[in-house]
Amino acid sequence: MTRNSFSPKAFGVLQNVGGRRGNSIFTASITIPDEPLMVAIQGQDKSSPTKHTFRRLNPILITPVTLRLFIPPLTGVTLWANETLDIPFTVQNAGAVDQDIDVRIEDDQDFALEPKIYSFSIQPGMSATKHFIIKGGLKAGVTTTVTINAKPFVLGSTSFQSGQFDIRRLTVMEHAVEGA
């Protein structure tokens, strides 16, 4: 349901998938709407003789993330000292409406080169592919933690807390010197 109307947007039948008395786990399959939503559960108490109807509402507003971030495995890829490395990514609009998406790279050793942010306007079901560039430091053995964040663009927001992210750790290596 949405916060403004409290009208149900989707229904699902709860399935008990485990747990124990007083701490059961239930799931339901529903279609997630594009707009922010709240979750409510309604049912009947089977343990009482009158089978009271109950409703539980979680008042936290959930904002669906309708984008996907893909970064290929970097196995076998080496970050060489003082050399650049491309990190490709693809971002997909999995929603039903056009979406403005920002993708940003951050790393704790400041190896990332400009541009450190890309902005896209992507139609439903479509995707965009680009790459970030990092440059290995001068000293071998230094490890950097690289985080790539993708989130819907919200005018006036500087937060990258919602959306998708991927974290990779890369260690600077030196080329072997022949004859040494």
Classify domain 67-173 at the CATH topology level.
Immunoglobulin-like (2.60.40)
Residues 110-141 have pLDDT tens digits of 999 999 999 999 999 999 999 999 999 999 99
Q: What residue ranges of the chain are covered by domains with CATH 2.60.40.10?
A: 67-173
Confidence tier at 27 by pLDDT (50, 70, 90):
confident
User: Alpha-carbon distance 103 to 78, whole Å?
Assistant: 23
Query: Mean of the pLDDT values across residues 6-25?
Result: 76
This prediction's pTM:
0.68
Distance set, CA 111 to CA 7, 82, 90, 155, 164 (Å): 49, 10, 21, 28, 22
pLDDT at 179 over 90: no
